[in-house]
Amino acid sequence: MIGIVVVSHSARLAEGVKELADGMTQVEIPIAAAGGVDDPENPLGTDGIRVLEAIHEVMSDEGVLIFADLGSAKLSADMAIDLLEPEEQEKVKFCDAPLVEGVLAAAVQIASGGKLADVMREAQEAGAVTAPEAEMADTDAAAAKDDSDAKAEEFVIRNRHGLHARPASLLVQTMNGFDGDIRLENLTKGKKPVNAKSINGIMLSAVTGNDRVRLTASPQEADAVFAAMRRLVEDNFGEDDEMPAEAPAPSKPAPSKAQAASSPGTSEAPEATDTLTGITIAPGFALGPLHHVRQEMPKIEVAAIDDLDAEIARFDKALQDAEAEIEAAMQAMGEGLSDYDRQIFSAHITYLHDPEITGGVRERIRSEKLGAASIWQETMSDLADTYSGLEDKLLQGRAADIVDVGQRVLRFLIGDEAASALPDEPAILAFHELRPSDVLRLADTSVLGICSAVGGETSHAGILASNLSIPVVFSLGEGLNAVKDGQKVLLDGGKARLDLGPDPDDIARMERDRAAFEALRAEAEAAKDLAAETKDGHLVRAAANMAALEELTAVADSGAEEIGLMRTEFLFMDRDAAPDEDEQTEIYKRIIAGLKGKPLTVRTMDIGGDKPVAYMDRPAEENPNLGWRGLRYSLDETALFDTQLAAILRASAEGPVRIMFPMVSTLEELRAAKDRLEAVRDRLGKAGQPFDDKLEIGIMIEVPAAAEMADRLAPEVDFFSIGTNDLTQYMMAADRANPKVQKLSDPLQPAVLRMVARTIAAAHEAGIWIGMCGAMAGNRLAAPILLGLGLDEFSMKPVDIGTFKLTVRRLAKPACEDLAAEVLKLDGAEAVRKRVAAFLDDIETD
């Protein structure tokens, strides 16, 4: 694999770029950071020998690309290349591209299997952001050809932040698994079509949540390409946040009565109101006086300086003091600051060491003979304006970080410690724009709530503030600045409202809502660590689904009693070759260790036409959901199957593990799979490899044929797990990815419920337990039905477990049995939904 060397004057910057690149791909890219010099007094600089060592660290037959931040860094890179052997020099190229954008673009292309020349070209194009439309036009012209036979399909991107860096990277890697030309067009924003295999093209298309895009591909590959795209869209590109089905228009601050009265004569004047409306950052309620926190710094007057060395020393001291203050604040927060939060402030420290920023200030002090304060303020203001002017909302949010760093250093330069004093009494704090450093010092104060005139949920301050357990509302508008200090206000975080004149009825209603909200939140949090047990003592198991190694921490913290479904496709996708037995074994062992004795159910690979794997020789399929996938594929590719089975068995020596086969349709398939497993057991036994010879074997019930044959399949296994996502679409003949038939693809359809009921009955009659790992398992409306039908295990998203347990603990098994018998006789899904909703309302009322 092609290697990357990051050369920077700052060791922190080099490591930061490497960290960003590592997070962009699902494939581990060989990247070495060669930053700074070994001089504690003057750590900024580059070292040719360090670069040489980094080259050797990532050297491969496919080559190495070197990226650098400043011109002098290229000299160190050139020196390192000169020290290489002639045959090595041919494989090493210096890439003249922007450091961050170039490395990220290169990493994605390398992960997709790109050649050195292609990777280098993509990295160099990463800097061409000044005229994106022109670049797209050039790209289109170069690739122009008769595409009259090409097929197209449209998709709506549902993940909240659209195709930002990581989702764009995932899309590019997936599309690079196909041979032909694939184009993506952002229809919502009217962007021109771009190469879907280019991360630069995807990023410049500015696809955000709820944007409609068109994908175009050759007829030969179109069906497989579109199926792969549907899979990505359905999985939200691996992200949790999803936009509502129709994005609401951005809310604008409502004018007060006084403001409305001062603007007569408009034919469509908004209704007068004494509330301001913004966006929710954190739910909750607060009532109290409003206190404006002054954030602006005085305008710094330009001052001539005689002693330039002393002024530069003063500037460097301010940088050091700012870093020390950040470090002290993080240390004071202790475990209250997550690893992600710490990365935010580590980024702030990186700005303090950025040679382009600080070096530019020092150079201007010397050349212009002016004071550091005015130069620093101008530099950071210009940089913040640059970020604010970008189209990408995530990058716009970084402007607040620039301002935050700038104000912190400026405070030390001018000695203004009163700039952001907090009140002594409990209050709702009002900011023009909340900054990360503001959040850092609010954790141990008696703040009732936070609101701001501007700001977005993707900003670092928004992410940090959402963890304070108080209501937070951003983007209330400039009307917030007109509210008097000390005025009594009511802040509703869930509705994103600030009531400027609450009356007694408003306050009484707020107190009722707050009591209910806090009670529900506390109950759900407490319930996640309790047993999933009904009021009359019936126990079920609450399990978590898992699809990536990175989800292990969330699973461990969720209250899950086991992993009911571990999807293993992530082991095989987005790489150049299948993982061998040892690699798979180590990954399974890591997960087992993280579960600390809780069972792990490993589903063998469900590789199909809708999950493209570049190194697998698979034909395009007209309907991959009904094609060569799951156990069907594994039984034909026995070497691949045996390797996975051996790895699971070897890992089972470390803790409780189950094996589950997907897409079983016939008894013959199941017996063939068991024969493969037995052969692998024999091989491992003869080799002296330890494993659990009593581990449970189960199958997924996701094909109607398996459900109909459940009474014959059950005696062959230790458990069933119902996969309702596929079972529903097959049962109702309704593609779950097709919005035109979404009403049919509903697990609450009585036909689906009846099939689930028969499968549960067949399992229990054979004396085996049965679970469910489809989305239905975490559906609050489905819980009482499934309890009534006798389901033993519910496996769902980790975030749903607390609410699920809370629901179960309010139910009684006999009442659920009566409900289940009743809904099986209803006419349709909507009738089922209404009946269950009424059932749950009655329980909560009681």
What is the predicted pLDDT for the residue at 273? 45
pLDDT band of residue 262 (cuts 50, 70, 90) is very low
What is the predicted pLDDT for the residue at 259? 34
pLDDT in tens, 519-552: 877 888 888 999 999 999 999 999 999 887 767 8
- Planar angle of CA 489, 494, 495, nearest 5 degrees: 70
Asked whether residue 195 carries a pLDDT value surpassing 60, the answer given is: yes
From CA 381, how far away is CA 403, in angstroms rounded? 7
Average pLDDT score over residue span 702-725? 96
Strands 3-8 and 64-68, by their bridges, are parallel
Average pLDDT score over residue span 780-800? 92
From CA 443, how far away is CA 465, in angstroms rounded? 9
Which of 13-27, 659-673, 826-840 comes out lowest in average pLDDT? 13-27
DSSP per residue, 778-820: G-TTTHHHHHHHT--EEEE-GGGHHHHHHHHTT--HHHHHHHH
Asked whether residue 793 carries a pLDDT value surpassing 50, the answer given is: yes
Burial class (CB in 10 A: 0-12, 13-18, 19+), 521: middle
What topology does CATH give the domain 535-845? Answer: TIM Barrel (3.20.20)
Residue with tokens 């390192």: 80
List active site positions: 460, 773
Average pLDDT score over residue span 233-261? 48
The residues near 367 (Cβ < 8 Å, ≥ 6 apart) are none
What is the predicted pLDDT for the residue at 266? 32
CATH 1.10.274.10 fits 308-414, yes or no: yes
Helix H or strand E encompassing 5: strand 3-8
Asked whether residue 253 carries a pLDDT value surpassing 60, the answer given is: no
pLDDT band of residue 797 (cuts 50, 70, 90) is confident
pLDDT in tens, 392-428: 555 566 677 787 788 888 888 887 654 456 777 899 9
Spell 294-317 as b/e; 16+ CB within 10 A means b. Answer: ebebeebeeeebeeeeebbebbee
**For the whole prediction, is pTM greater than 0.95?**
no
DSSP annotation of 127: T
From CA 354, how far away is CA 376, in angstroms rounded? 13
What is the predicted pLDDT for the residue at 135? 40
From CA 546, how far away is CA 539, in angstroms rounded? 23
Q: What is the 3-state secondary structure (H, E, C) of 529-545?
A: CCCEECCCCCEEEEEEE
Average pLDDT score over residue span 830-839? 93
**Which one has a higher pLDDT value, 275 or 782?**
782
Asked if 237 and 166 count as a contact pair (C-beta separation under 8 A), the reply is yes
From CA 728, how far away is CA 751, in angstroms rounded? 9
The highest-confidence range among 4-13, 489-498, 544-553, by mean pLDDT, is: 489-498
The highest-confidence range among 11-20, 193-202, 567-576, by mean pLDDT, is: 11-20
Architecture in CATH for domain 129-140+149-248: 2-Layer Sandwich (3.30)
What is the predicted pLDDT for the residue at 563? 96
- Six token digits for residue 591: 């997960």
DSSP annotation of 718: S
Extents of the domains making up the chain: 1-127, 129-140+149-248, 276-295+421-513, 308-414, 535-845
What is the predicted pLDDT for the residue at 825? 96
Asked whether residue 144 carries a pLDDT value surpassing 70, the answer given is: no
The highest-confidence range among 80-84, 205-209, 312-316, by mean pLDDT, is: 312-316
Which of 113-122, 275-284, 375-384 comes out lowest in average pLDDT? 113-122
**Amino acid at the residue 292:** H
From CA 184, how far away is CA 215, in angstroms rounded? 5
What is the predicted pLDDT for the residue at 744? 83
Task: Enumerate the H helices of 59-146 as residue ranges.
Answer: 71-82, 86-89, 99-111, 116-125, 132-143
Residue with tokens 């819980």: 783
Neighbours of 292 (CB within 10 A): 17
Residue percentage of the chain with pLDDT more than 90: 37
Average pLDDT score over residue span 681-687? 96
What is the predicted pLDDT for the residue at 247? 34
pLDDT in tens, 603-627: 999 876 445 566 777 776 777 778 8
From CA 588, how far away is CA 817, in angstroms rounded? 38
What is the predicted pLDDT for the residue at 189? 79
Burial class (CB in 10 A: 0-12, 13-18, 19+), 109: buried
CATH 3.50.30.10 fits 276-295+421-513, yes or no: yes
Helix H or strand E encompassing 682: helix 667-686
CATH 3.40.50.510 fits 1-127, yes or no: yes
Helix H or strand E encompassing 602: strand 600-603
What is the predicted pLDDT for the residue at 738? 61
What is the predicted pLDDT for the residue at 586? 94
What is the predicted pLDDT for the residue at 656? 97
pLDDT band of residue 583 (cuts 50, 70, 90) is very high
**Residues in the chain, overall count:** 846
Q: Which of 253, 247, 296 is nearest to 475 (CA)?
A: 253
Q: Which of 62, 76, 61, 66 is nearest to 31 (CA)?
A: 66
1-127 and 129-140+149-248 agree in CATH topology? no
Residue with tokens 């996969």: 723
**Which one has a higher pLDDT value, 739 or 353?**
353
Task: Enumerate the H helices of 502-561 as residue ranges.
Answer: 504-527, 552-557
pLDDT in tens, 48-67: 888 998 999 899 888 999 99
pLDDT band of residue 779 (cuts 50, 70, 90) is confident
**Which one has a higher pLDDT value, 272 or 745?**
745
pLDDT band of residue 581 (cuts 50, 70, 90) is very high
DSSP per residue, 727-747: HHHHHHT--TT-GGGTTTS-T
**DSSP E strand boundaries for 390-510:** 427-431, 447-452, 472-474, 488-492, 497-499
Average pLDDT score over residue span 43-49? 80
Average pLDDT score over residue span 342-365? 80
Mean of all residue pLDDT scores within the chain: 82
Asked whether residue 705 carries a pLDDT value surpassing 50, the answer given is: yes
What is the predicted pLDDT for the residue at 737? 53
Asked whether residue 739 carries a pLDDT value surpassing 80, the answer given is: no
Asked whether residue 249 carries a pLDDT value surpassing 60, the answer given is: no
Residue percentage of the chain with pLDDT more than 70: 83
